[in-house]
Amino acid sequence: MSFFELEKKLKSIRIEAFVIHKGNTRIFEYLKNKKVVEKPSKVYSITKSIVSILIGIMVVKGLIKNIHEPIQNYFPEILESNHPQKKEITIFHLLTMTSGLKVGKFQGSKNWVKFILGQPIIHKPGSTFQYNSGDSHLLSAIIQKISGIPTASFAEKYLFCPLGIKKYNWVKDPQGIHGGGFSISLNLEDMVKIGLLFLNEGRFNSNQVISSTWIIQAKRPYKQVETTKEGTYGYGYQLWTYEDTNTNTPMDYYYASGLFGQYIFIVPKLNIMAVAKSHLQNDQQSAPRLFFEELLGSWLDETFEQVKL
């Protein structure tokens, strides 16, 4: 698939913007209008991947000594409960969506953290992947408890300022804790900065914002989520992963993903990063990912043909 064909596909549905970088150089740009560049809009669950970076920064700074420590250290209400398995939940389990807590609609509750922690355990912690924004929100609550400042203030100091992210919105829960699961709004260029941070393994403009060790750990699949004949989707630290089973053209990549077609894709072997901003409904929401996979596939086929020649 050529860039011309990609642009034609992007125009056919409600994709606002799609940009591709090779290293730090932009090699493709589709913008439906200029507004999408400047105006922050919701990135939904890409919030989770940003919270994961913040946890990594805390680990590097020694504010979190061990991600395998139980979260009861931060939530005394777990100690007071009569659920021995809840005492086994660790920060690692929250990062990998394996807390075992039942997924509940906490947004309508008066106290999100209390509601999430009050859910019954339906799987042994660490055993089963369940996509759960509650796990991500508990991570934000932990960041606030440890740092003593709101999660967004911690992010500004150690992530947003080094990346030059100034225009953002971040919604709080009723207790004033910034939503860990789906609450950030960013503009396109600031999403690109997050993508470049991942692509360059924690570096941005020669500044090591977060350790490469954390990025390497974060993009590793800890649980397999879905297997197709082409490859396996998995989950790292609040990041989706894809491992290609086609040995001729290995197309491993990982990505941050949000509702209605928001994406940040990273393909380490090709030094490629792409960002999509969209307003897609229902089954169209995965279209940017499918287009990107098709583009990657065509590049890799070309490379393979050249190698054969």
Mean pLDDT of the chain: 93
Domain termination residue (choose one: 136, 169, 186): 186
Domain span at 25: 1-39+213-309
CB 300 within 8 Å of CB 251: yes
Residue 191 located in a structural domain: no
Same domain, 29 and 58: no
Residue 87 located in a structural domain: yes
Helix (H, G, I), strand (E, B) or coil at 261: coil
Q: One-letter amino acid identity for 84?
A: P
Question: CB 304: neighbour CB atoms within 10 A?
Answer: 13
Q: How far apart are CA 209 and CA 77, in angstroms?
A: 34
- Which residue spans within 9-89 are E strands per DSSP? 15-22, 25-31, 41-42
Confidence band, pLDDT 50/70/90 cuts, at residue 228? confident
Domain termination residue (choose one: 186, 201, 230): 186
Residue partners of 10: CB distance under 8 A and separation at least 6: 18, 30, 291
Same domain, 79 and 59: yes
- Which CATH number is 59's domain given? 3.40.710.10
Q: What is the pLDDT of residues 17-63, one digit of tens each?
A: 999 999 999 999 999 987 778 889 999 999 999 999 999 999 999 99
pTM of this structure: 0.94
